[in-house]
Amino acid sequence: MAGLVDRFGRKHTDLRISVTDRCNFRCQYCMPAEGMVWLDRSHVLTFEEIERVARILVEGAGVRSIRLTGGEPTVRARLPVLVRKLAVLDVDLSMTTNGATLGLMADDLRAAGLNRVNISLDTLDRERFKDLTRRDDLDKVLRGIDAAVAAGFSPVKINAVLMRGINHDEVVPFLTMGREKGVIVRFIEFMPLDAQGEWSADRVVAYDEILAVAGEHFDFDPVDRGSSPAERFVYRDGRGEFGIIASVTEPFCDSCDRIRLTAEGQVRNCLFALDHVDIKALLRGGANDDEVLAAVAGEVERKWAGHAIGQVHFLRPSKSMSQLGG
């Protein structure tokens, strides 16, 4: 099995699948205030098409982990059906969600075979939450976190994007919440994927600053991160861990093992890729499994050395995070 290897010898074994471009929030930094034009349902991959691509990449290319993303994956009707289809593959199956409806779905998703969940939550302050998401649903998200823990997902991770002038002062509240609930908080540096196009380097709360603030209040030690994008730290008192994903100030492109399948069937070799291969056209045009695999492998082989954020030749992708998935 040759696997999916780019021109720099990096093997890709982590598949991110965006199951929908739709969302139940209108997040300030994910989509424009006027909303977005959603894909027509006919343009979105069916469960059977998603399952086929996943099977081809697991059996033919050594993909070992699959994460379901969006938009917001829980707005896709009958999501547990897709989970059951993918759970039979020999992979670590997880999902990234905003958590708003997780309280209603956690048990069904766990029973269907989902292993882990990441919950995106950028603030613990109710008014800030309303400003960021344009919804007053913080309590629903917090209940979703509790439901995920109760359903037996392990680990449950909270992804918090820190933005200067918005929520940069919430490092300690997030870490305290994580220790109390038994979940792993991961702080993510603000990346230039906001729908408004307002990103600037001075809005980034950097790795060093986050670590310094955390160190003023807690005792912890670093641990080996392996191929994970997060630098990990365990508390010395044994009450869990937290992480920092320093995508901007300390990029981890040299160890990245991810590829992405968007809701409309595009395979992208990087979150910041400017191009893609149209797998949906192959699937609906009668291509066989070998042809699908060859197309994905060719796209992975073309992957850049790195995203080049902060460099003069950086080019921002045309799609925002809500359209690409995590």
User: Which tokens hold the place of 284?
Assistant: 């609906």
Residue 121 · residue 161 · CB < 8 Å: no
Q: Model confidence at 320, in pLDDT bands (50, 70, 90)?
A: low
Give me the sign of the Cα torsion angle 272, 93, 53, 60: positive
Rounded Cα distance, 241 and 235, in Å: 6
User: Which tokens hold the place of 161?
Assistant: 């994007």
The per-residue pLDDT for 197 is: 62
Rounded Cα distance, 27 and 121, in Å: 11
The per-residue pLDDT for 194 is: 56
Q: Model confidence at 224, in pLDDT bands (50, 70, 90)?
A: confident
- At a CB cut-off of 8 Å and minimum separation 6, what does 89 contact? 54, 55, 58, 66
Residue 237 · residue 271 · CB < 8 Å: no
pLDDT digits (tens, 9 = 90+) for 147-195: 999 999 999 999 999 999 999 999 999 999 999 999 999 999 987 665 5
Q: Which helix (H) or strand (E) segment is 300 a member of?
A: helix 289-301
Assigned domain for 1 exists: no
The per-residue pLDDT for 225 is: 76
Rounded Cα distance, 97 and 80, in Å: 14
Task: Output 246 or 304, whichever has higher pLDDT.
Answer: 246
- Using CA atoms in the order 149, 16, 125, 25, what is the torsion angle rounded to 10 degrees? -110
Does the pLDDT at position 306 exceed 70? no
Q: Model confidence at 5, in pLDDT bands (50, 70, 90)?
A: very high
DSSP symbol at 40: P
Task: Output 262 or 42, whichever has higher pLDDT.
Answer: 262
Does the pLDDT at position 26 exceed 80? no
Assigned domain for 80 exists: yes
Q: What is the CATH number of the domain that holds 31?
A: 3.20.20.70
Assigned domain for 8 exists: no
Over range 229-251, report the average pLDDT: 92
The per-residue pLDDT for 312 is: 43
Rounded Cα distance, 197 and 294, in Å: 35
Assigned domain for 243 exists: yes
pLDDT digits (tens, 9 = 90+) for 84-93: 999 999 899 9
Pairing mode, if any, of strands 116-120 and 92-97? parallel
Assigned domain for 253 exists: yes
Rounded Cα distance, 22 and 74, in Å: 10
Burial class (CB in 10 A: 0-12, 13-18, 19+), 189: buried
Q: What is the mean pLDDT of the chain?
A: 89
Assigned domain for 96 exists: yes
SS3 218: coil
Task: Output 219 or 200, whichever has higher pLDDT.
Answer: 219
Percent of the chain with pLDDT over 70: 86
Q: Which helix (H) or strand (E) segment is 235 a member of?
A: strand 231-235
Match 């807690």 to its residue by tokens.
218
Q: Which helix (H) or strand (E) segment is 67 a member of?
A: strand 65-69
The per-residue pLDDT for 155 is: 95
Q: Model confidence at 326, in pLDDT bands (50, 70, 90)?
A: low
pLDDT digits (tens, 9 = 90+) for 132-149: 998 999 999 999 999 999
Assigned domain for 4 exists: no
Does the pLDDT at position 7 exceed 70? yes
Percent of the chain with pLDDT over 90: 69
pLDDT digits (tens, 9 = 90+) for 112-126: 999 999 999 999 999
How many CB atoms are located within 10 Å of the residue 49 CB?
16
Burial class (CB in 10 A: 0-12, 13-18, 19+), 92: exposed
The per-residue pLDDT for 25 is: 76
Does the pLDDT at position 47 exceed 60? yes
236 Cα distance to chain centroid: 28
Number of domains in the chain: 1
Over range 47-72, report the average pLDDT: 97
The per-residue pLDDT for 42 is: 84
The per-residue pLDDT for 307 is: 55
Assigned domain for 285 exists: yes
Task: Output 83 or 43, whichever has higher pLDDT.
Answer: 83
Match 């993909």 to its residue by tokens.
63
Q: Which domain holds residue 190?
A: 14-324
Number of H helices, E strands in the chain: 10, 12
Residue 261 · residue 306 · CB < 8 Å: no
Does the pLDDT at position 240 exceed 90? yes
SS3 38: coil
The per-residue pLDDT for 34 is: 56
Does the pLDDT at position 231 exceed 60? yes
